[in-house]
Amino acid sequence: YAHRVLARMERGEELRARGHAHLLIAGALLDQGHIDEAAPHLDQAERVLTDEAPAELALLAYERGRAALAKGDTAAAARHAEIMRDRAAESEPGSAGMANALLAEVALAENRLDDARALCEEGIRQMTDRAAPPYLARAYDTLSRVEEEAGNLEAALEALRNRPAVPTARP
């Protein structure tokens, strides 16, 4: 019996690792603009990661939101970001910041510049020293686009100056 329990636990860890791998692949595909290729990986990750910690579920919602936004579905992107923010609000302020940054992208896509600016600023505040640099950099990029759209080129440039450096992969 103990051997069977141990075998199940090991399969569970392997399954969990596969879920994380699917989520990682989906994120990379979204970064490259391959939205349709990312969708099956998001589906696989969701099937496996249903009982994960709030941070992993928040990341899944984030990637779902990015995929929806890339397809032009701002309503779905906002829903995923709000789910993420709700899951992360208390325990994961960095993840809540990522959700706010994603909501800022939605507001920008809908030309609600004041909302986008406020959401970016809140997201950046929440993510600083709590989230990985690529997420923070994306928020600064969004803030720069907001300021450019608003005609404030000085503020757009300032956002780019404050953007953290993100290492790029070398072939």
* pLDDT, tens digit (0-9, with 9 covering 90-100), for 94-122: 999 999 999 999 999 999 999 999 999 99
- Token duo for residue 19: 């879920």
* pLDDT, tens digit (0-9, with 9 covering 90-100), for 45-64: 888 887 767 778 888 999 99
Give the list of residues 6+ apart from residue 102 with CB closer than 8 angstroms, or none: 62, 65, 66, 69, 77, 80, 81, 84
pLDDT, residue 10, reads 52
Tallying the residues shown for the chain, one arrives at 171
Average of pLDDT values for 119-133?
Answer: 95
- pLDDT over threshold 80, residue 16: no
CB 136 within 8 A of CB 127: yes
Cα–Cα distance for residue pair 124/142, rounded to 1 Å? 11
User: pTM for this one?
Assistant: 0.86
